């Protein structure tokens, strides 16, 4: 009973997420996790029905942390600048979005057809949120779709390629990416607002 009280389900999830990110889905196993947490397997079964239940919870965390955060940023109250700043803060890891988890889940999905379909559905929801974000600035639906995809696919590729650019340079570049995504350069006031919103 002592170890059950000492560990929560979240402790198991946190440990499993760490293993997923660092070693891949094949390493997310109950006994090694129990050893890492210094408890018996019985502690695991106090919180989860089985291994699949743990994996489902990892995907729920990914949905909440990554998809939920991105979509909330792109559809938040305000205009294009407020939404753009919120989204860039996700991309720059200033909010809950976890790029390492994103890459790990996508690698997991390559060996799991059911998860791959779930990833594709998540991609569609994210792009739809970006289309809604851009719609007031890009009224042509076809162009809004292409710009939304450019915005999304570029960032997903950035994570997969593990591009290493200093944070200050990435923040500064966000004003240039605005023109690529939106189709016009930001005004002086908009540029200042973007930089101020990302340098907080």
Answer whether residue 1 shows pLDDT above 90: no
Q: Do residues 67 and 40 make contact, with C-beta atoms less than 8 angstroms apart?
A: no
Q: Do residues 122 and 67 make contact, with C-beta atoms less than 8 angstroms apart?
A: yes
* Architecture category of domain 61-198 in CATH: Orthogonal Bundle (1.10)
Nearest to 114 by CA among 11, 33, 25: 25
Q: Do residues 84 and 184 make contact, with C-beta atoms less than 8 angstroms apart?
A: no
Report the C-alpha gap between 132 and 134 in whole angstroms: 5
Report the C-alpha gap between 114 and 67 in whole angstroms: 17
Work out the average pLDDT over 129-138. 97
Nearest to 138 by CA among 66, 198, 76, 84: 84
In sequence order, which residues have a C-beta less than 8 Å from that of residue 68 and are 6 or more positions away? 96
Answer whether residue 128 shows pLDDT above 50: yes
Rg (CA), the chain: 20
Domains 1-48 and 61-198 share a fold: no
pLDDT confidence band for 173 (50 / 70 / 90) = very high
Phi, psi of 170 (to 5 degrees): -65, -40
pLDDT confidence band for 2 (50 / 70 / 90) = low
Report the C-alpha gap between 121 and 115 in whole angstroms: 10
Whole-number percent of the chain with pLDDT over 90: 92
Q: Do residues 33 and 12 make contact, with C-beta atoms less than 8 angstroms apart?
A: yes
Condensed to tens digits (0 to 9), the pLDDT of residues 66-102 reads 999 999 999 999 999 999 999 999 999 888 899 999 9
CATH code matching the domain that covers 1-48, chosen among 1.10.10.10, 1.10.10.60, 3.30.70.1230, 3.40.1180.10: 1.10.10.60
Q: Is the pTM of this model over 0.85?
A: yes
Where in the chain are the domains?
1-48, 61-198
Computed over every residue of the chain, the mean pLDDT equals 95
Work out the average pLDDT over 105-134. 97
């Amino acid at each position: 009973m002592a170890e059950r009280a000492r560990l929560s389900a979240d402790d198991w999830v946190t440990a499993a997420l760490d293993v997923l990110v660092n070693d891949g889905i094949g390493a997310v196993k109950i006994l090694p996790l129990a050893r890492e947490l210094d408890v018996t397997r019985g502690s695991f079964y106090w919180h989860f029905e089985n291994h699949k239940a743990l994996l489902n919870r990892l995907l729920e965390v990914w949905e909440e942390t990554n998809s939920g955060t991105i979509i909330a940023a792109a559809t938040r109250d305000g205009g294009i600048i407020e939404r753009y700043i919120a989204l860039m803060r996700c991309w720059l890891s200033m909010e809950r979005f976890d790029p390492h988890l994103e890459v790990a889940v996508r690698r997991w999905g390559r060996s799991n057809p059911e998860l791959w379909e779930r990833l594709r559905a998540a991609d569609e929801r994210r792009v739809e949120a970006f289309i809604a974000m851009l719609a007031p600035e890009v009224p042509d639906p076809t162009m809004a779709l292409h710009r939304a995809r450019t915005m999304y696919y570029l960032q997903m590729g950035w994570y997969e390629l593990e591009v290493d650019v200093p944070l200050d340079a990435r923040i500064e570049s966000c004003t240039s990416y605005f023109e690529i995504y939106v189709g016009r350069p930001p005004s002086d006031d908009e540029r200042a607002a973007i930089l101020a919103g990302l340098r907080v």
